[in-house]
Amino acid sequence: MKKKVFVFFPDGVGLRNFAFTDFKKIGEEMGFDITYWNNTIFSLKDNLGFKELKIENHTTHKLLSIYSRARKRAELNVSRNKFNDDVYPTYKFPFNYKGLKNIVRSLYAKWLIGLYSSEKGIIKLRQKINKLERTTSKYKYCKAQLEEQKPDLIFCTTQRSTQSISALLAAKDLGIPTVAFVYSWDNVPKAMQVVETDYYVVWSNLMKQEVLKYYPFVKENQVFITGTPQFEPHYNTGLRQTKEAFFKEYNLDLNKKYICFSGDDETTSPLDQYYLQDLANAVRSLNSKGENLGIIYRKCPVDFTSRYNAVIEANQDIIEVLDPIWEQVGKQWNQVLPTPEDFKMLYNVCEHSEFVTNVCSSTVFDFVAHNKPCIYYNYEQPQLKKGIRDIGQNYKYVHFRSMPSDKAAVFCTNKNDLEHLVKKILDGTLSNVEECKAWYKIVVGDMPTKASENIWKSIKKILE
């Protein structure tokens, strides 16, 4: 009898890793009966022909957002005190006091934080969240689905979605084993583990140690190191286009060398457009000295702002816009969903650009998979004023402490150095590739091409 596994999408962030890679194909080849348990508005049946069970009830408890926020802040308070480290408060978003409703919600959250900011308090807070979610119609709805379908295991594609809590509680209450994939390299120190499952799947030994460090209730045998499917497409040479074909498809100039500017979301880099402007100025100056350079601007898929428009407009002769091929199916950031076509585009942007520049993005790893360098901007813009977040704090975050050396990226710490750094990379006298490969191994693990297979092997081991 084939083991029946539900691959659970509480939101759209897991589609890229678990619907558009070979994850399903590998699982089926290993003998699993796979159903996608789908809480998103993207139809896996209609778009990809996958067997799916839709979750039509999305009701969470009306107090869940307040309790979740309190849980996150309480965890960050505990980490600050436990590790004597002031980085943790910098992960907090400010409270909203606009309007009576937001004032009440913020004050209630602050009261909960004051009450539960201890290791025992956090456990009680999680228990309270679970108790609230078990009263929802969604919990009953999901439980009924599971009782009818009788899956052998639930694999949740992200640990950070509140939409998953009631569904996973229903599974646990029915004795169905649950596994959560820790979605991103920065998630664990940021207190983004929303769910409690029987097992956890992580990218690397680094992430395993973090899970055990921040969540003492998790035991070592509950955490499996597998890698992440996120980078697997970079090793799929079937996605590679010739330079001529790629440049023709996107109207790029074959005589130019292109530098990729990878945009950030507004929270991470609120003045990002000015770094694009600085790169355009450096490129313009180098072109006046005999270079023939252009910029590929690839925006952050969940950035809906118009903040780059003026810079792009003023530099049309230099900047080519290659928007990610994602589809907006709702108004929230997690309802902007990737498409399989974007894998091909990203592969070839990495392959045919000289290098990438950005503010602290994980695209450093996408590009190093293609042996391409990365410049990280790490200087303040003159437009920085009170109320605007300084990008410098990004590099102080815990996940950047995994860098084996400060040469794992080329840091531009002064705007006046940018042109010189660009020129040195182009001339081949400066690169971070070898050091970055060591960093990539620390973060992503030893087997970047085997992640999907390793996850299914872990599932098989759990079921045995």
DSSP string of 49-113?
---EEE-------TTHHHHHHHHHHHHHHHHHHHHT-TTGGGGPPPPP-SSHHHHHHHHHHHHHH
pLDDT value of position 425: 98
Residues 282 and 415 in one domain: yes
pLDDT value of position 334: 58
Q: What is the CATH number of the domain that holds 350?
A: 3.40.50.2000
Inform me whether the pLDDT recorded for 333 exceeds 60: no
Domain that includes residue 44, residue range: 4-60+136-227+448-463
Confidence category of residue 330, pLDDT binned at 50, 70, 90: low
- Give percent helix, percent strand, percent coil of the chain, each to the nearest 5: 50, 15, 40
Residues 347 and 359 in one domain: yes
The residue-averaged pLDDT of 227-256 equals 96
Count H helices, E strands: the chain? 17, 15
Q: Among residues 74, 104, 132, which one ends one of the domains?
A: 132
Nearest to 176 by CA among 160, 197, 207, 162: 197
| 415, amino acid identity | K
Residues 267 and 302 in one domain: yes
Q: Among residues 132, 155, 178, which one ends one of the domains?
A: 132
Sign of the four-CA dihedral 417, 423, 429, 435: positive
Confidence category of residue 390, pLDDT binned at 50, 70, 90: confident
pLDDT digits (tens, 9 = 90+) for 141-172: 999 999 999 999 999 999 999 999 999 999 99
Residues with Cβ < 8 Å from 441, sequence gap 6 or more? none
Confidence category of residue 270, pLDDT binned at 50, 70, 90: very high
Confidence category of residue 16, pLDDT binned at 50, 70, 90: confident
Residues 309 and 393 in one domain: yes
Residues 219 and 257 in one domain: no
Residue 303 sits at φ, ψ, to 5 deg, of -95, 115
Cα 333 to its chain centre, rounded Å, is: 12
pLDDT value of position 221: 97
pLDDT digits (tens, 9 = 90+) for 404-426: 999 999 999 999 999 999 999 99
Alpha helices by DSSP H, listed for 295-339, are: 309-314
Residues 392 and 433 in one domain: yes
pLDDT value of position 328: 72
Question: Considering the chain, what percentage of its residues have pLDDT values greater than 90?
Answer: 88
Inform me whether the pLDDT recorded for 112 exceeds 70: yes
Comparison of pLDDT for 333 and 360, the residue scoring more: 360
Nearest to 187 by CA among 152, 160, 222: 160
Residues 432 and 299 in one domain: yes
Q: Tokens 């002064």 identify what position? A: 414
Residues 389 and 292 in one domain: yes
Inform me whether the pLDDT recorded for 329 exceeds 90: no
Q: Among residues 90, 106, 132, which one ends one of the domains?
A: 132
pLDDT value of position 302: 83
pLDDT digits (tens, 9 = 90+) for 49-98: 999 999 999 999 999 999 999 999 999 999 999 999 999 999 998 999 99
Residues 380 and 302 in one domain: yes
Residues 171 and 255 in one domain: no
Confidence category of residue 389, pLDDT binned at 50, 70, 90: confident
For the chain, what is the domain count? 3
Residues 316 and 204 in one domain: no
Confidence category of residue 340, pLDDT binned at 50, 70, 90: confident
pLDDT value of position 331: 63
Residues 173 and 318 in one domain: no
- The chain-wide mean pLDDT, for the chain, equals 95
pLDDT value of position 335: 66
Nearest to 328 by CA among 319, 339, 318: 339
Inform me whether the pLDDT recorded for 455 exceeds 80: yes
